[in-house]
């Protein structure tokens, strides 16, 4: 799970705060704690990045949330897709947009099985005149330093989608981009940043909290932390 607080502002001195929670790979033993964390955090947006077959109830969470979006991971079945579609929250290959506290937020998704088609569709339908674009992707950009994995403690290779961030940024001109990737083979937490762009890779870590600030077409990362209350339950029960 990732918790993000984004600050938006069309006015110089009046930022808007938006809280985002990203969840993936929650095992059954941590399911109750994940629900409690979401209820306590009261997010404006909840993003589900797959791997939740042991915690299906997160797809039917009753906590009032203005924005819900998700994609599926490898190993997920049709139930996850149906559950998201029932709430008009299946983001693979499309943008889900809404106004949160007066700021326009759009979330696009790239799933585990149809990533190439998803990216093409997102590029063809890139939103305009928004405050922040978020890409929820099972795979990272292949050129990213966060895409490197080790095999048998001997070899290092990069996994992911070629030129993913560059292709999106070429059509999301002047729009800050927050890219969140959640492939379980990636390192537990990896962060890349430059002007107008942040990439956060979760790897096997299901619950992360972060704070970003978006002002004047830029995005800055202010804080990152693991939500210990949920993560610890994975290993202690």
Dist CA 21 CA 28 (whole Å): 19
Residue 194 or residue 36, greater confidence:
36
Q: Tokens representing 188?
A: 């537990």
56-86 confidence digits (pLDDT tens): 999 998 888 999 999 999 989 899 999 999 9
Scan for tokens 């109830």, then name that residue. Answer: 57
Scan for tokens 């042991």, then name that residue. Answer: 54
126-144 confidence digits (pLDDT tens): 998 898 999 999 999 999 9
pLDDT of residue 41: 84
In this prediction the pTM is: 0.89
Dist CA 15 CA 132 (whole Å): 13
> Is the predicted pLDDT of residue 120 greater than 60, yes or no?
yes
25-37 confidence digits (pLDDT tens): 998 999 999 899 8
Residue 29 or residue 227, greater confidence:
29
Q: What angle do CA 128, 130, 132 make, to 5 degrees?
A: 125
Dist CA 159 CA 180 (whole Å): 15
Report the chain's mean pLDDT, rounded to a whole number.
85
What CATH number should be reported for the domain whose range is 2-236?
A: 3.60.21.10
**pLDDT band with cut points at 50, 70 and 90 for residue 148:** confident
pLDDT of residue 194: 82
3-state DSSP assignment of residue 180: strand
Relative orientation angle of helices 164-171 and 115-124, to the nearest 10 degrees: 20
Domain ranges of the chain: 2-236
> Is the predicted pLDDT of residue 236 greater than 50, yes or no?
no
Mean pLDDT of 85-96: 96
Kind of pairing, strands 103-110 and 95-100?
antiparallel
> Is the predicted pLDDT of residue 216 greater than 70, yes or no?
no
Dist CA 47 CA 19 (whole Å): 11
**pLDDT band with cut points at 50, 70 and 90 for residue 115:** very high
Helices (H), 47-177: 78-86, 115-124, 164-171
In this prediction, what percent of the chain has a pLDDT beyond 90?
A: 46
Does residue 80 contact residue 86 with C-beta atoms inside 8 Å?
no
Dist CA 125 CA 201 (whole Å): 24
> Is the predicted pLDDT of residue 108 greater than 90, yes or no?
yes
Scan for tokens 């696009």, then name that residue. Answer: 108
Distances (CA, A) of 207 to 48, 49, 99, 154, 227: 11, 12, 25, 29, 5
């Amino acid at each position: 799970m990732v918790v993000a607080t984004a600050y938006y502002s069309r006015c110089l001195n009046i930022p808007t705060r938006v809280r985002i929670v990203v969840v993936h790979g929650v095992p059954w033993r941590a399911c109750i704690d994940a629900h409690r964390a979401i209820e306590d955090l009261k997010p404006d947006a909840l993003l589900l990045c797959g791997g939740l077959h042991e915690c299906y109830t997160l797809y039917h969470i009753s906590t009032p949330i203005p924005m819900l979006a998700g994609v599926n991971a490898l190993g997920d079945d049709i139930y996850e897709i149906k559950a998201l579609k029932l709430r008009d929250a299946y983001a693979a290959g499309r943008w889900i947009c809404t106004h949160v506290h007066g700021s326009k937020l759009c979330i696009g998704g790239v799933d585990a099985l149809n990533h190439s088609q998803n990216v093409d569709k997102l590029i063809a339908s890139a939103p305009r005149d928004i405050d922040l674009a978020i890409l929820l992707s099972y795979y990272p950009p292949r050129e990213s330093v966060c895409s490197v994995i080790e095999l048998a403690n001997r070899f290092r290779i990069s996994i992911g989608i070629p030129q993913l961030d560059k292709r999106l940024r070429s059509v999301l001109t002047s729009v800050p981009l927050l890219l969140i990737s959640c492939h379980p083979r990636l390192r537990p937490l990896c962060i890349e940043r430059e002007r107008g762009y942040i990439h956060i890779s979760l790897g096997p870590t299901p619950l992360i909290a972060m704070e970003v600030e978006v002002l004047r077409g830029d995005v800055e990362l202010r804080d990152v932390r693991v939500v210990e209350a949920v993560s610890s339950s994975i290993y202690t029960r």
